[in-house]
């Protein structure tokens, strides 16, 4: 699992929500292109079309604000026409219409976004690296050690399935990754893969 591209279609008013949902997802070794971030950075709509066309998956964030958004409808329609899978991430009570009406999506839990992020990661894992009968997709996060004067990369391997990750989260456990250079240990929330802390070695 490296090199895949995910395009996130959303309403402008939902940018903060989308950034919260994808903050840890962006740490994985695949591209995440959030529509409004691309536009705000000065890129043209034409370049955005290229991002969409080269995506392996389109995530459509569907909220009340998104209901009448022309761009979301066009981006979803374009993806469907090009054979790119679409994953709806929607507020409770918002229905998926048109070409994605039969697609099982992820429901946004605004009271506990960690549940939504966990479910989003589950679906991303199944869409981008489908589970085989006996295997778990090899997902990982690689980052530079943040200890002063240490230049070693640190890798958090995600070798457990989503169910086991949720159990760890429910029991207050953390995932850990250690730096081979300085011996520091990094801690991550198993549900969101969000950084929790570091213990120097």
Residue 171 lies in a domain: yes
Alpha carbons within 13 angstroms on the beta-carbon side of residue 31 total 14
Residue 134 lies in a domain: no
For residue 136, name the pLDDT band (cuts at 50, 70, 90). very low
Task: Report the Cα 101 to chain-centroid distance in Å.
Answer: 22
- If asked whether residues 28 and 54 sit together in one domain, one would say yes
Lowest model confidence (mean pLDDT) among 159-163, 173-177, 188-192, 194-198: 159-163
The model's pLDDT over 78-109, given as tens digits with 9 standing for 90+, comes to 999 999 999 999 888 877 677 776 878 899 99
- If asked whether residues 120 and 172 sit together in one domain, one would say no
Distance (Å, rounded) from C-alpha 12 to C-alpha 175?
34
Q: What is the chain's percent helix, strand, coil content, to nearest 5?
A: 35, 25, 40
The model's pLDDT over 137-165, given as tens digits with 9 standing for 90+, comes to 567 888 899 999 998 999 998 877 778 88
The encoded tokens of residue 20 equal 């919260």
- If asked whether residues 111 and 176 sit together in one domain, one would say no
Bridge partners for 157 per DSSP = 140
- If asked whether residues 33 and 112 sit together in one domain, one would say yes
- If asked whether residues 113 and 27 sit together in one domain, one would say yes
- If asked whether residues 116 and 23 sit together in one domain, one would say yes
- CATH number of the domain residue 70 falls in: 3.40.50.10140
Number of domains in the chain: 2
- If asked whether residues 113 and 143 sit together in one domain, one would say no
Lowest model confidence (mean pLDDT) among 34-48, 158-172, 177-191: 34-48
**Residue 182 vs residues 109, 116, 144, 198: alpha-carbon distances, Å:** 39, 35, 12, 12
- Residue range(s) defining the domain that contains residue 32: 5-128
CB 117 within 8 A of CB 191: yes
- If asked whether residues 20 and 119 sit together in one domain, one would say yes
Structure letter (DSSP) for residue 14: G
Distance (Å, rounded) from C-alpha 71 to C-alpha 113?
25
**Residue 66 vs residues 12, 13, 15: alpha-carbon distances, Å:** 8, 8, 11
- If asked whether residues 19 and 85 sit together in one domain, one would say yes
Residue 40: partners with Cβ closer than 8 Å, 6 or more residues away: none
- CA angle in degrees (0–180, nearest 5) for 188-191-197: 15
């Amino acid at each position: 699992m490296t090199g895949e591209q995910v395009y996130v279609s959303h309403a402008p008013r939902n940018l903060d929500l989308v950034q919260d949902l994808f903050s840890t997802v962006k740490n994985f070794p695949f591209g995440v292109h959030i529509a409004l971030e691309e536009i705000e950075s000065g890129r043209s709509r034409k370049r955005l079309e290229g991002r969409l066309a080269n995506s392996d998956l389109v995530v459509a964030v569907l909220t009340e604000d998104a209901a009448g958004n022309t761009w979301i409808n066009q981006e979803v329609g374009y993806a469907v026409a090009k054979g790119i899978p679409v994953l709806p991430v929607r507020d409770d009570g918002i229905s998926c219409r048109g070409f994605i009406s039969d697609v099982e999506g992820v429901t946004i839990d605004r009271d506990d976004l960690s549940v939504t992020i966990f479910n989003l990661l589950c679906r991303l894992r199944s869409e981008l690296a489908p589970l085989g009968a006996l295997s778990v997709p090899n997902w990982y996060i690689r980052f530079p050690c943040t200890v002063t004067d240490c230049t070693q990369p640190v890798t958090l391997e995600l070798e457990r399935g989503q169910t086991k990750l949720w159990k760890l989260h429910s029991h207050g456990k953390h995932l850990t990754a250690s730096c081979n250079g300085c011996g520091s240990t990094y801690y991550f929330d198993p549900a969101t893969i969000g950084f929790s802390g570091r213990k120097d070695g």
